[in-house]
Amino acid sequence: MSKPTPLSGFPEYLPAQRMIEQNLIERIRSTFELYGFAPLETRAVEPMDQLLRKGETSKEVYVLRRLQEDPNAEKDDNALGLHFDLTVPFARFVLENSGKLQFPFRRYQIQKVWRGERPQEGRYREFLQADIDVVDRDNLPFHYDTEMPLVVGDALRSLPIPPATILVNNRKVCEGFYRGLGLEDPDEVLRTVDKLDKIGPVKVAELLVAKGASAAQAEACLQLAQISTSDASFVDRVRKLGVDNDLLTEGLEELARVVETANEHAPGLIRAELKIARGLDYYTGTVYETELQGYERYGSICSGGRYENLASSGNERFPGVGISIGVSRILGLLFGRDALTISRSVPTTVVVALPQEDLRVRCDQIARSLRSRRISTEVAPTAAKFGKQIRFAERRGIPYVWFPGADGEPDTIKDIRSGEQVEADAATWEPPAQDRTPLVQGV
């Protein structure tokens, strides 16, 4: 068999990288649970009619089918796809279980998703997301919109990554402003302005004029999109543009609440950025994107927003607000710069040296005693010379080697970094806190 080649867009991490990923996941999970979000995991597949209900991701959905057609299979088996985000399966889950859930329902979900887009740095076809959402029946109080950046801000600050800034806007601000200008299709204007970073203001203005806006209206849209503040001063700046609309007023009030609440919690965490819109159709109010300091050109690492109709059944409606951390996206960018390190490539804290093969049972007993107190331990693979066994530990960053005492002598343990070797009892010895588990650090 020839040597296999990597499959683009489907990352596979070495053990040290995988431990870094697990470390980050645990920190994110812990923060989510501190805010009372409950864990959820949904199935990997959804019916195609659910995945394609918005239409814009139809070219990115991976279809799931049998290699050989089974005439006895249920017809639904031929119309399944892998989920491309965690919002669609969450909406389905809420509908299916609405009679069993307590509302408002707060959930977090850390799970793989699949999207058939062109792989590039920080973007994959299989990737891990960490989502939180709050959903309610009929009406969801606005204070949950102000809570989302606080949760994610705490989660991101718990990670050994560069500082992050959450960019926030409100769809009502944009739509109300465009309607106040007299533009009849605010959604189309929003989609056009959303291309600002890709094609620049001149071409955006040209597109707006080509779609029916006057030059003055196009210029006003660009002026709105250029507003960026770290406090609520954006309200006065928008008002100075001279546009009046009730929906605009409502959006400005909501956006100001989000910014002011975040500034009380963590000054510098958030910035009002009136050009962001988010691409998905179901966002109706607050929208979030997040930049990582030093990696701004790669786009958002965390995004989400308010949706007034996450799911509906008959007369019953479930509005929600949510945000998603792109775990694989963050890791891909930082791994690409060697910007994350871990103190050792295995979980092991102690290697028990093996003086000779017929003493393996005794060495296993020592290891068992250490493991009983949650100290990660392994026994040396062979009864090689002690120098070779020490190098075995050293190559993998394992800090300690345990030497069983001979002829009634006490056991000793050696810190192979400092060379210090002391007597030790497997029933009571404890490593320093910083050595118990591998440490992850940003560079």
Every domain of the chain and the residues it spans: 15-341, 350-442
Asked if 44 and 112 touch (Cβ cutoff 8 Å), the reply is: yes
Asked if 348 and 396 touch (Cβ cutoff 8 Å), the reply is: yes
Answer yes or no: is 412 a known binding residue.
Answer: no
Residue 312 pLDDT:
80
CATH 3.40.309.10 is right for the domain spanning 15-341:
no
32 φ/ψ angles, rounded to the nearest 5 degrees: -60, -45
Instruction: Work out the widest C-alpha separation in the chain, in whole angstroms.
Output: 95
Residue 277 pLDDT:
80
Residue 60 pLDDT:
86
Answer yes or no: is 360 a known binding residue.
Answer: no
Answer yes or no: is 283 a known binding residue.
Answer: yes
Residue 191 pLDDT:
87
Structure tokens at 84: 């491309």
**Beta partners for 289?**
167, 303
Q: Which residue has tokens 């120098």? A: 387
The answer to whether domain 15-341 and domain 350-442 are alike in fold is: no
Answer yes or no: is 187 a known binding residue.
Answer: no
Residue 272 pLDDT:
97
Structure tokens at 11: 């990352």
Residue 1 pLDDT:
62
Residue 318 has, within 13 A of its CA and on its CB side, a CA count of 26
Helical H segments across 65-210, by residue range: 87-97, 143-157, 171-181, 186-193, 196-210
CB 29: neighbour CB atoms within 10 A?
A: 16
Residue 190 pLDDT:
87
Residue 288 pLDDT:
96
Residue 362 pLDDT:
96
Answer yes or no: is 282 a known binding residue.
Answer: yes
Q: Which residues of the chain are modeled with pLDDT < 50? A: none
Q: Which option is the CATH number for 350-442: 3.20.20.140, 3.40.50.800, 3.40.30.10, 3.30.2090.10?
A: 3.40.50.800
CB 230: neighbour CB atoms within 10 A?
A: 17
Residue 20 pLDDT:
97
Answer yes or no: is 167 a known binding residue.
Answer: no
Q: Which residues contact 385 (CB under 8 A, 6 or more apart)?
A: none
Residue 397 pLDDT:
95
Answer yes or no: is 133 a known binding residue.
Answer: yes
229 φ/ψ angles, rounded to the nearest 5 degrees: -140, 155
Structure tokens at 209: 């004029």
